[in-house]
Amino acid sequence: MATFIAALLFRPEDVSDRALSQGFGVALGGFDVPSPRLLVAEIPGLSGFSAAFYASAAKIPRGTEDEEFEHACELFEDELPPALAVLDAAIEMGRPNAVVYALTFAEDVLHDDAWRFDARGVERHFAHEGDEGIEVGFETPSAGEVKTISVPEEEEAAKVMPHRGTTFLSKELGVPIVGALVGALFAAEKRILVRLVEPDPASIEAEVMRLNKTLKRVAGRGSFEPPRSVGGAPVPAAYEAFVRAYDFNDPADPQDLYRELSIGAVEGTLRFFRRDDFNAIEKDQAFGNYRGKAGSAAVFPIARFLGSTLGAGAKGILGIADDGEHLRIVRPSGEVIEAGPTFGELIRYLALGWSSRTEAEEDMIGALMLRAKLRVDREIIS
């Protein structure tokens, strides 16, 4: 396939990198795409606007390049498309007047589909090759139309032009958009990894503060200095940030048990480690069996599974992998398995699970659970 475009257009002052990353993460929740990425660049000739070009980063065998574009079209046309999820994230981050445009465009076949998302709703204009001719149409919050155009080939371009998504975008933004986007695509150097929750210590601390607010707790109460290493695994900086911010001594909930969890392989009841748990970890059977296995990867323990009141759930210890982001479960046998959520994703899941949720937050918790399930099913780090 020749050049194709699957991109969002936006003002960076309204749509941050975090909104892009989170929004695409939510939209991709149910898609089996391990390492998606965005390439971002300013749009030449369109002051104040940038474009984020989507790529699945999957290995595409020669001769199957069409599959990447088909995947992008499916994603952008989904019930929860990236543009809407990015808009929701931007609004959540304090930009209620944000506008996000989306485009899927191919130059060697007729596929020209564009959307405009804002707080008022969505407007779409498109032209596609259909089974019985060229399908064109539009959608707005109050109206919509789809029709088939059958004309001689020499008249096709003129008849289709008013309906094209790129025609709509060019009118909205005041520049010939195809050339501008091609220029941006070839100039794009900034890469954004798609993540539901960022893994760095500052982001983990922010997630804990969100959890504290949900549970009406006091930040840092009962905090302690975690050991510098456990079983040869150094303490992750993200976990140190967690310990500084978490409330370990809530008098309203002295047991501090998270019950009936179900995200990836994290199931049942979970309790985060206190100082005394670290003092006793060397005597733990599961951890002892794990350490006794040759070639075991480093896992820093952070919580214990207590099963479930229904008799189900995981047993053993939850720990952070040596990348400081992904979680592993150490079974009583010493087996180490993929947990599903990352550390930050688990904290966000806990905060959302114990609160009333907006529609956007429902989308987020759904994406967290789907992404965790995919990781467990594939037993991969992504």
Residues 178 and 133 in one domain: yes
What pLDDT, on the 0 to 100 scale, is given for residue 292? 60
Condensed to tens digits (0 to 9), the pLDDT of residues 83-109 reads: 999 999 999 999 999 999 999 999 888
Rounded to an integer, what distance in angstroms lies between the CA atom of residue 4 and that of residue 72? Answer: 10
Domain residues for 40?
4-193
> Which residue carries 């090759």 as its tokens?
129
Helices 237-245 and 201-215, axial angle in degrees (round to 10)? 30
Rounded to an integer, what distance in angstroms lies between the CA atom of residue 375 and that of residue 34? Answer: 8
Choosing from 137, 172, 193, the residue where a domain stops is 193
Q: How confident is the model at residue 382 (pLDDT cuts 50, 70, 90)?
A: very low
Residue type at position 313:
G
Q: Which residues contact 143 (CB under 8 A, 6 or more apart)?
A: none
- pLDDT: is 345 or 231 the higher one? 345
Q: Which of 142-156, 300-314, 322-336 has the lowest mean pLDDT?
A: 300-314
Q: How confident is the model at residue 232 (pLDDT cuts 50, 70, 90)?
A: confident
Q: Which of 15-19, 86-90, 315-319 has the lowest mean pLDDT?
A: 315-319
Residues 208 and 165 in one domain: no
Work out the average pLDDT over 338-362.
95
- φ, ψ dihedrals at 366, nearest 5°: -65, -40
Q: Which of 87-96, 226-235, 343-352 has the lowest mean pLDDT?
A: 226-235
Residues 39 and 165 in one domain: yes
Residues 248 and 184 in one domain: no
Helix (H, G, I), strand (E, B) or coil at 107: coil
Residues 92 and 71 in one domain: yes
Residues 38 and 96 in one domain: yes
> Which residue carries 């929860």 as its tokens?
80
DSSP E strands in 77-185: the ranges are 100-106, 111-118, 121-130, 133-139, 144-149
Rounded to an integer, what distance in angstroms lies between the CA atom of residue 271 and that of residue 274? Answer: 9
Rounded to an integer, what distance in angstroms lies between the CA atom of residue 110 and that of residue 278? Answer: 62
CB 24 within 8 A of CB 75: no
